[in-house]
Amino acid sequence: MSTYVIGDLQGCFNALQLLLERIAYQPAHDKIILLGDLVNRGTDSLAVLRWARDNQIGAILGNHDLHLLAVAAGYETQNKGDTLAPILAAPDQDVLLDWLRHLPLAIHTQGYLLVHAGVLPQWTIAQALSLAGEVESALRSADYLVYLRAMYGNEPRLWHDDLTGMDRLRVITNGLTRLRFCSATGEMDFTAKAGLDSAPAGYYPWFHAPQRQSEGAPIVFGHWSALGLQVESDNIALDTGCLWGGQLSALRLEDRRVFQVECAGLAGVRRWH
């Protein structure tokens, strides 16, 4: 049995099928885990959701997936370039969104932590998993709309253990699903979306933050298409820009082998969104 972690799909269902062929995926023996951003901006988000739910595929939530839930709940409007309409008009919309709402924000398997974006430097692996669980509980509760209504926002930008309520949940959400750069104290920046050389003064890529508490533990993440494929001892980046004509990438956890297929991309899609 092999476990394959696949980077950001964003509705690129055809590329997914090619990648499954590339790894010779055997559903009876292999496990797939999608690294968040299953949907949006690509052309076949509905097909991705149906395939993942119908085949009981492992997945974590990314910022675009949470955006879909907020749009469906009526708390956010679609952005220019969003391609969520087919999901919102689908007869099985409720079933698909309920499945999506119950996905985790972090998974720990075979010694690897899987998150969509990153881990704040103050958090250990155990803390990241515990804090992810707080957001998961809010999303899975009968009052999940309360969370979706107040989910959006950049503040607070800094984690404190004594944060409460939506401030606490928002920082956790932003850290796990939006993080790229942060300061040594963990203050998040949401403006820089390009490569490593775009770091604002005094900020670091989260995986190079000084005295990061999760340092040494392997973390696999997506979200950062401008970073491309990165395989370091304790962090592996798998968003290789399928949406804009890059590659779709899978990591086999057992031996860290990377598999890729080329993607056609979409005309007019802006890189680093």
- pLDDT tens figures, 45-82: 999 999 999 999 999 999 999 999 999 999 999 999 99
- What pLDDT sits at residue 88? 98
User: Does the pLDDT of residue 201 top 60, yes or no?
Assistant: yes
Kindly report, residue by residue over 108-152, the tens digit of the pLDDT.
999 999 999 999 999 999 999 999 999 999 999 999 999 999 999
Q: Which of these, 176, 152, 207, lies nearest to 60 by C-alpha position?
A: 176
> Which one-letter amino acid corresponds to residue 241?
G
Query: Which pLDDT score, from 0 to 100, does residue 269 have?
Result: 44
Q: Which residues are bridge partners to 115 per DSSP?
A: 106
Q: pLDDT tens-digit profile of 151-172?
A: 999 999 999 999 999 999 999 9
Q: DSSP class of residue 38?
A: -
d(CA 113, CA 129): 8
Helix axes 45-54, 13-22, angle to 10 degrees: 50
How many other CB atoms sit within 10 Å of the CB of residue 54? 11
How large is the average pLDDT for residues 194-206?
95
> What proportion of the chain, given as a percentage, has pLDDT over 70?
97
What integer pLDDT is reported at residue 264 of this predicted model?
Answer: 87
Q: Binning pLDDT at 50, 70 and 90, where does residue 270 land?
A: very low
Per-residue model confidence (pLDDT) at position 265: 73
Query: How many Cα neighbours within 13 Å face the side chain of 100?
Result: 28
pLDDT of residue 273: 36
Sequence-separated (6 or more) residues with CB below 8 Å from residue 174: 154, 188, 190
What's the pLDDT score for residue 118?
98
Label residues 176-190 b or e (16+ Cβ within 10 Å = b): bbbbbbbbeebbbbe
Structural domains of the chain in order of their starting residue, each with its CATH number: 3-262 (3.60.21.10)
- How far apart, in whole angstroms, are the C-alpha atoms of residue 247 and residue 15? 9
Please state, as a whole number, how many other Cβ atoms lie within 10 Å of the Cβ of residue 68.
27
Question: How much is the pTM?
Answer: 0.95
What's the pLDDT at 10? 97
Identify residue 123 by its one-letter amino acid code: W
